[in-house]
C-alpha cells in the first residue's frame, strides 16, 4: 500500500512538472498613465508583447512552477519583470505575456533574455528600444522609435516594418533580417559574424549604402544604381544618398533587396 502511495505521489509530481505552460498563474493589470518605461530581463522564459484596447497594461505569466516565475513590479514609473535568481531552470516552462494599450507611448523599452524567445507586435517609444537576446529568437513585427538596438550571440533576429531615426543591429552567429519602412535619418549599421544578414528597403528612399565582408558573399539588388565592386565590397547611392547605412560580416552572407 505504501508503495502505491509513493507511485501516486510521483505521478502527481510529474503532472505538475510537465503542465501546460499556458496555464496562467499570475495576472495583474497596471494603469499605463503611471508607467513610462518597460524593463524586462529574463533568463529562459519566452516573452510575448501584444497591443490591446484599453487603459491598462496587463501582465500574465503561464508556468508549471509558480514558485519560480519572474518578479513583477512598478518602480519609478518603470514596469519591471525580472527573472528570479535560481541554480537551475531544468524542467521549468514559463511564458510571459505583456499586453500594452494602443495609446501607450513609452519613453523607452529594454528587453533582455538569455535563452528564451522574444516576440512583439508593435514596439513604439519616444526615445529608444534596446533588445539583447543571447541565444533565443527575436521577432519584432513593427517598431517606431528614435534609436533602436538589437543584438544576439547565436539567436536569429527578425525585424519588420522598422521606422526609426537610427539603428544598430548585431549578431555573432545568428541570422539578421531587417525590413525598413523608411530610411534612417542618421548613420546606422548592421554587423554580423558568420550569420546571414538580409536588408529590405523601399526603392523610393534616400541613403548611402555600403556593404563589406571578409570571406562571405554579397548579393545586391539589380535595380540599385552606382554599384561598385559587388562581391566582397559594395557601395551604392540610393536616391539622393545620405545618411550612411553600413552592413558588414566576417564570413556570413549579405543580401540586399529593394522592394
For 7, the enclosing helix (H) or strand (E) is helix 2-17
Cross-strand pairs, 186: none
CB-neighbour burial class of residue 154 (10 A; exposed 0-12, middle 13-18, buried 19+): middle
CA dist., res. 22 & res. 94, Å (int): 8
CB-neighbour burial class of residue 63 (10 A; exposed 0-12, middle 13-18, buried 19+): buried
Please report, for residues 148, 184, 200, 223, 234, the alpha-carbon distance to residue 241 in angstroms, rounded to integers and kept in the order given. Answer: 21, 11, 16, 15, 15
The pLDDT of residue 233: 87
User: Do you know the residue count of the chain?
Assistant: 259
The pLDDT of residue 92: 83
Among residues 190, 209, 108, the alpha carbon closest in space to that of 150 is found at 190
> Do 188 and 208 contact (CB within 8 A), yes or no?
no
Domain limits, the chain: 1-104, 119-259
CB-neighbour burial class of residue 167 (10 A; exposed 0-12, middle 13-18, buried 19+): buried
The pLDDT of residue 231: 60
Residue 154 in grid coordinates: 547565436
**pLDDT tens over the chain, length 259 residues:** 444 444 444 434 444 433 444 799 999 999 999 999 999 999 999 999 999 999 999 999 999 999 999 999 999 999 999 998 765 667 789 999 999 999 999 999 999 999 999 999 999 999 999 999 999 999 999 999 999 999 999 999 999 999 999 999 999 999 999 999 999 999 999 999 999 999 999 988 899 999 999 999 998 875 344 444 446 888 888 888 889 999 999 999 999 999 8
Model confidence pTM above 0.75: yes
> Do 148 and 111 contact (CB within 8 A), yes or no?
no
The pLDDT of residue 112: 98
DSSP count for the chain of H helices, then E strands: 1, 21
For 10, the enclosing helix (H) or strand (E) is helix 2-17
Amino acid at each position: 500500500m505504501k508503495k502505491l502511495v509513493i507511485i501516486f505521489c510521483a505521478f502527481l509530481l510529474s503532472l505538475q512538472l510537465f503542465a501546460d505552460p499556458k496555464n496562467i498563474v499570475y495576472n495583474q493589470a497596471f494603469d499605463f498613465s503611471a508607467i513610462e518605461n518597460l524593463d524586462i530581463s529574463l533568463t529562459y522564459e519566452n516573452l510575448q508583447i501584444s497591443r490591446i484596447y484599453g487603459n491598462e497594461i496587463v501582465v500574465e505569466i503561464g508556468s508549471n512552477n509558480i514558485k519560480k516565475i519572474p518578479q513583477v513590479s512598478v518602480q519609478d514609473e518603470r514596469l519591471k519583470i525580472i527573472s528570479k535568481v535560481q541554480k537551475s531552470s531544468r524542467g521549468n516552462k514559463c511564458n510571459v505575456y505583456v499586453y500594452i494599450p494602443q495609446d501607450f507611448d513609452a519613453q523607452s523599452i529594454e528587453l533582455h533574455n538569455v535563452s528564451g524567445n522574444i516576440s512583439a507586435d508593435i514596439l513604439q517609444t519616444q526615445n529608444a528600444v534596446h533588445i539583447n537576446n543571447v541565444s533565443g529568437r527575436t521577432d519584432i513585427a513593427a517598431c517606431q522609435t528614435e534609436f533602436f538596438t538589437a543584438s544576439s550571440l547565436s539567436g536569429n533576429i527578425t525585424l519588420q516594418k522598422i521606422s526609426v531615426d537610427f539603428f544598430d543591429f548585431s549578431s555573432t552567429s545568428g541570422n539578421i533580417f531587417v525590413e525598413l519602412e523608411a530610411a534612417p535619418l542618421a548613420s546606422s549599421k548592421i554587423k554580423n559574424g558568420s550569420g546571414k544578414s538580409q536588408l529590405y528597403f523601399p526603392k523610393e528612399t534616400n541613403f548611402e549604402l555600403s556593404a563589406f565582408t571578409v570571406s562571405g558573399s554579397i548579393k545586391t539588388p539589380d535595380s540599385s544604381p552606382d554599384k561598385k565592386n559587388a562581391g566582397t565590397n559594395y557601395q551604392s547611392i540610393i536616391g539622393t544618398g545620405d545618411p550612411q547605412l553600413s552592413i558588414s560580416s566576417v564570413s556570413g552572407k549579405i543580401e540586399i533587396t529593394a522592394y
